[in-house]
């Protein structure tokens, strides 16, 4: 039986690198794959999964309106797929995660989803919450805080490097906008940002 896997980590932990390596392993053995990435992520060229170490591959873009089952089965009818890999899986909707589970359960396709678990306030993304609920296997890709502890949280920072406590849940960025921290240092930084916002008062 095929399984739905959720590989989760903080920012800059190598999620895209792991995905591209898994994709390479399948293709090296002559197996076809299908890659998805979030249309909202514009850090690389449109429809491209790119890692910080220079690896990249073309991918089908998804947004909240994308029917993943229809996309995959259309490709599968043309070229039988051995695996489906999804980057930026936190941006999936809950129903889209259900679709991935359907592909695994009803169509016997392994699904490897890679993404963040929580946002810059420490709250779950919709896609991640549903993946945590449904995935057959949860795999943490580990990263390290500057203090040496495991980094599990994603702190958003401004142009000056100061922590940000308010804003939209989704704001695309890399090392210039996010810092991976352990829970202790994330909580301290967020508390400092909240205190600073309270000191300034309402805008």
CATH number, domain containing residue 98 = 3.40.50.300
User: Which pLDDT score is estimated for 44?
Assistant: 61
User: Which pLDDT score is estimated for 174?
Assistant: 62
Counting the structural domains of the chain, the total is 1
pLDDT at 202 over 70: no
Supply the DSSP symbol for 118: B
pTM: 0.88
Known catalytic membership, residue 88 = yes
**Is 123:159 a contact under the CB 8 Å cutoff?**
no
Question: What are the tens digits of pLDDT across the range 73-100?
Answer: 999 999 999 999 999 999 999 999 999 9
Question: What are the tens digits of pLDDT across the range 140-194?
Answer: 999 999 999 999 999 989 888 888 877 778 776 666 788 999 999 999 998 888 7
* CB-count burial class (<10 Å; 0-12, 13-18, 19+) for 110: buried
pLDDT at 22 over 80: yes
User: Which pLDDT score is estimated for 36?
Assistant: 97
Say which residues have a Cβ less than 8 Å from residue 41's Cβ, sequence separation at least 6. 87, 88, 91, 172
Instruction: Point out which residues pair with 195 in neighbouring strands.
Output: none
User: What residue has token string 């989803």?
Assistant: 113
Q: Which domain holds residue 38?
A: 4-200
């Amino acid at each position: 039986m095929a399984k739905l896997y959720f590989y989760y980590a903080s920012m800059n932990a190598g999620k895209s690198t792991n995905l591209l390596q898994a994709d390479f392993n399948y293709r090296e053995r002559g197996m076809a794959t299908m890659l998805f990435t979030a249309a909202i992520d514009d850090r690389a060229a449109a429809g491209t999964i790119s890692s910080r170490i220079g690896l990249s591959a073309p991918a089908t873009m998804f947004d909240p309106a994308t029917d993943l089952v229809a996309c995959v089965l259309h490709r599968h009818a043309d070229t039988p797929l051995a695996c489906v890999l999804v980057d930026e899986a936190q941006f999936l909707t809950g129903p889209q995660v259900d679709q991935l589970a359907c592909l695994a359960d009803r169509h016997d396709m392994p699904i490897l989803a890679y993404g963040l678990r929580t946002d810059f306030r420490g709250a779950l993304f919709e896609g991640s919450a549903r993946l945590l609920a449904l995935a057959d296997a949860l795999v943490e890709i580990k990263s390290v805080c500057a203090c040496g502890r495991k980094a599990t949280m994603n702190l958003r920072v401004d142009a000056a490097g100061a922590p940000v406590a308010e804003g939209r849940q989704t704001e695309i960025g890399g090392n210039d906008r996010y810092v991976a921290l352990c829970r202790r240092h994330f909580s301290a930084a967020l508390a400092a940002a909240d205190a600073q916002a309270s000191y300034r008062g309402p805008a």
